[in-house]
Structure 1
Amino acid sequence: MKDHEILERVSRGDEAALDYLYKKYYKMMTRIVLNNSGTEDEAKDVFQDALLVFWQKAISGNLVLTSKISTFIYSICLNLWRKELDRKSRNSGEMVEASVFQDHERQEKIKIINDCIDQLGETCRKILTYHYFDGLSMQDIAEKLDFANTDTAKTKKYKCKKKLDMMIKRNYTSSDFLD
């Protein structure tokens, strides 16, 4: 099944589509917890909670996917497990080793941003990638994209960044984005 079919079926209350997601992504999603100081039972709980969040958002009609379903569920799992680690840390007074977890979190943020940038269109994708990922100056960007001048490049970058910000805010909550 393709993601748009799954989302449509889940939003209509089709539990078979949810079962499909469970079977398809179980190992990948539970690995997040298992690789970050968690047990098999905790991994199952986190994944089931993440699917419940996905289910509720889909049924409400407020879910507009701008990335793959797997990416969306992955970010929910990461966030839920991070909250659980924080809770454990507070309750036990111990510091939980989080470097691997933080790397996963950082990679997921980058993936979400890249997925959104890809949806903005070719010009915005190039401008934002050149500026934020490649570190090019506005002068270099203007030359590469054959803009009239640096001011044109700056204006376009500003508008593209605004569109990206709006897309992320519209499609992700701060908990989804793991702020």
Structure 2
Amino acid sequence: MKDSEILEKIAKGDETALDYLYKKYYRMMTNLVLKNNGTEEEAKDVYQEALLAFWQKAISGKLVLTSKISTFLYSICLNQWRKELDRKSRLSNEEVDSEEFQGHDQNERYKIVMQCISELGDTCKRILTYYYFDGLNMTDIAEKLNFANTDTAKTKKYKCKKKLDSLIKARYTTTDFFD
């Protein structure tokens, strides 16, 4: 498929074109993260975020390609991975007293997260609970929730986590978690 055909199909909401892109450029995009001190899971997340950004821009009609789709996706992945490395660097440079993560404070943080998760829709609540607390992989979650495929489950998990992050950030400050 040509890039123009892919873009046209995605703009019309054809998810098969998105699946095609995912498979076609998966190795190239994930290798970018893997070769720059990332894990396979981080690489998948970065690529998933890049595809989501591409898809949102394409369906909005605001995407004008001035390069190949692969180049566009690569630049999104690169920028997202740089941001993630920067975030990791900042976190590693902060000193956090390990005792603060014990006992009562940890229980309070857990309660805050669980309260916010419970306010999300049923699907989000189930996805996040299955993934973060039950340790299920995306394939199992897709099967349990009758999603079309694992990619659908990944996209939904990403959106749910964004909602959860926004909800927590709107209600609590960093000091609520790191006194």
Q: How does 1:6-155 map to 2 (within 5 A)?
A: 6-93=6-93
- TM-score, normalised by the number of residues in structure 2: 0.52
Relative contact order (C-alpha < 8 Å, sep 6+): which is higher? 1
- Distance apart, 1:93 and its partner CA: 1.3
Give aligned pairs, total: 94
- What's the Cα RMSD here? 0.9
Q: For the residues of structure 1 that align with 2:68 and 2:93, how far apart are their CA atoms?
A: 37
The answer for the alignment partner of 1:144 in structure 2 is none
Question: Could you list the runs of 5+ residues in structure 2 that have no partner in the other structure?
Answer: 95-179
Query: Which has more radius of gyration?
Result: 1
Offset of residue 29 of structure 1: 0.2
**Which residue in 2 is equivalent to 1:107?**
none
Q: Secondary structure at the match of 1:66?
A: coil
TM-score, normalisation: structure 1: 0.52
**Counterpart amino acid of residue 2 in structure 2:** K
The letter for the 2-side match of 1:30 is T
Q: Which runs of 4+ in 1 moved over 6 A?
A: none
- TM-fit CA distance, 1:53: 0.2
Please give the alpha-carbon distance, in whole angstroms, between the structure 2 residues aligned to 1:39 and 1:93.
Answer: 20
What are the equivalent positions in structure 2 for 1:158-173 lying under 5 Å apart? none
Q: C-alpha offsets along residues 61-113 of structure 1, whole Å, 9 cap, x if unaligned?
A: 0000010000000000000000000000000119xxxxxxxxxxxxxxxxxxx
Unaligned runs of 5+ in 1: 95-179
Calculate percent identity across the aligned residue pairs. 79
**CA offsets per residue over residues 105-155 of structure 1, 9 Å max, x none?**
xxxxxxxxxxxxxxxxxxxxxxxxxxxxxxxxxxxxxxxxxxxxxxxxxxx
